[in-house]
Amino acid sequence: MNRNAKRIVGNISVGAFLAGVVAILAVNHVDPDFLTNDAELTAEANAGTPIVQGPIVPLELPTAKATTPAQVENARQIALDMGRSEATWDKNCVAWNPAESGGARQQWANRVAASWLESAGAGCPDAMTWPYYYVESFDSTAPGQLRITMEQAVASDPQIFTDAPGDLEFIAEEVIDATHQKFTDLETVHVVVEGHSSTSSVGVAGRLESAR
């Protein structure tokens, strides 16, 4: 094919292409949806196409202090979703809030509790190891008397609890050992379990005598 023939063929091809473009634009002018993707056809075309997920960002235990019931429940649920147990969910002590009502005796109990926790390097019982994370609260029923209440869940822990009184005396003994020098007015530590009637009590004098 000579040069003139090639030029003619090329011009015809370009002309045909331009005519096609003009025709498409004309149709689209009449039907604006002509060049719009059909949602159903697109869905069918994409069916079976693997979906690539972005990186999974791991949850982190809350660290901000929870000051309302809603915040406490939200922090608790996050911890449970991460696999923490009900007894140990507050590892970061965001919900630990010793009782402030109860007057001077409650404040005294709070100070004894804080001293014991400090001796263990913990900010709250949930930050401690088994079985101390079962500790629920501290209070005082009379001068010199410290009462430690354990969560009801401890009753279902076969490694620590039976129906016989005295099973929790070792907790009372450890609290006495850690605090009696600072709190010379501490006389007795009682350990009770929420929902149970048994009490484990250890007197400071008896504990010090047995430790000699």
In a domain, 10, yes or no: yes
Query: For 6-50, what is each residue's pLDDT tens digit?
Result: 444 445 554 555 555 555 555 455 555 544 555 665 555 556 656
Q: Are 187 and 115 part of one and the same domain? A: yes
Query: How many domains in the chain?
Result: 3
Same domain, 112 and 24: no
Q: What angle separates helix 103-119 from helix 169-179, to the nearest 10 degrees?
A: 90
| 71-75, 150-154, 159-163, 204-208: the lowest-pLDDT one | 159-163
| 192 and 117 share one domain | yes
Shared domain check, 176 and 78: no
The H or E element that residue 190 is part of is: strand 188-193
104-148 confidence digits (pLDDT tens): 999 999 999 999 999 999 999 999 988 899 999 999 999 999 999
SS3 141: strand
Taking only the tens place, the pLDDT of each residue in 152-199 is: 888 777 777 655 545 789 999 999 999 999 999 999 999 999 888 878
Task: Return the structure tokens found at 55.
Answer: 């990186």
Return the structure tokens found at 75. Answer: 């922090």
Q: Across residues 56-69, what is the average pLDDT?
A: 76
CA distances from 129 to 56, 112, 132, 141 (A): 30, 19, 6, 27
In the predicted model, is pLDDT for residue 84 greater than 70? yes
DSSP 51-106: P---PPPPP----SPP-SHHHHHHHHHHHHHTT--TTT--TT-SS------SHHHH
**Which pLDDT score is estimated for 208?**
92
pLDDT score at 73: 93
Are residues 118 and 187 located together in one domain of the fold?
Answer: yes
Q: What is the largest CA-CA distance in the chain?
A: 121
Torsion sign (Cα): 77, 82, 88, 92: negative
Asked if residue 27 and residue 122 are part of one domain, the reply reads no
Contact (Cβ atoms closer than 8 angstroms) between residue 169 and residue 200: yes
129 shares a domain with 205: yes
User: Quick check: is 49 in a domain?
Assistant: no
In whole angstroms, how large is the CA radius of gyration of the chain? Answer: 37
User: Do 110 and 133 have their domain in common?
Assistant: yes
Is a pLDDT exceeding 60 seen at residue 203?
yes
The verdict on 8 and 84 lying in the same domain is no
Tell whether 173 and 110 lie within a shared domain. Answer: yes
The predicted structure's pLDDT at residue 163: 54
In this prediction, residue 9 carries a pLDDT of: 41
Residue numbers of the domain that contains 204: 103-210
Task: Write the CB contacts of 127 (distance below 8 Å, at least 6 apart in sequence).
Answer: 90, 91, 92, 93, 133
pTM of the model: 0.68
Asked whether residue 54 is assigned to any structural domain, the reply reads no
